[in-house]
Amino acid sequence: MSAPGRDTERIKWHCRRGLLELDLVLQRFVDRHLDTLSDVQTDVFKELLAYEDNDLLDMVMGRAEPVNGDLSAVLELMRSA
């Protein structure tokens, strides 16, 4: 199930970042996966988006792992997007 109503739009805007690398990765992720994320996955994605840019980029590039292991599955989707 996709994020209800305008929440999808809000998430899309939160994919606008200070780092171009994240803009690019998140744009691909949104195009490929956002519509098919489960509610749980959507919440995890929002949690990932709450990270600071450089920390999130480190995770996306595989230079760091999230402290919270529950984030791993969605992070893997982002890494392969």
Partner 1 sequence: MGNTRNIPRRQFDAVVVGAGGSGLRAALQLAESNLKVAVLSKVFPTRSHTVAAQGGVSASLGNEEPDNWHWHMYDTVKGSDYLGDQDAIEFMCRKACDAVVELEHYGMPFDRLDNGKIYQRPFGGHTSNYGERAIKRACAAADRTGHAMLHTLYQRNVRARTQFFVEWMALDLICNQQGDVLGVVALEMETGEVMILQAKATLLATGGAGRIYSASTNAFINTGDGLGMAARAGIPLEDMEFWQFHPTGVAGAGVLITEGVRGEGGFLLNKNGERFMERYAPTVKDLASRDVVARAMATEIKEGRGAGKDGEYILLKLDHLGGDVIDKRLPGIREIAKKFANVDPATDPIPVVPTCHYQMGGVPTNVQGQAIMPDGRGGEKIVKGLYAAGECACVSVHGANRLGTNSLLDLLVFGKSAGQQVVKDIAADVASMPELPADAADKTMARLARLDSATTGERVNDVGAEMRRTMQAHCGVFRFPDSMAEGVKKMLAVAERAKSTFIQDKSKVFNTARVEALELDNLVEVALSTMISANARQESRGAHDRSDFPNRDDVNWMKHSLWFKEGNRLEYKPVQLKPLTVESFEPKARVY
Interacting residues toward partner 1 by CB under 8 A: 6, 9-10, 12-13, 16-21, 23-25, 52-54, 61-63
Shortest gap between Cβ of 79 and partner 1 (angstroms)?
8
Tokens (6 digits) for 69: 């292991």
Nearest to 81 by CA among 54, 48, 43: 48
Shortest gap between Cβ of 66 and partner 1 (angstroms)?
18
Residue closer to partner 1, measured from CB, 52 or 76: 52
CA dihedral sign of residues 29, 32, 34, 37? negative
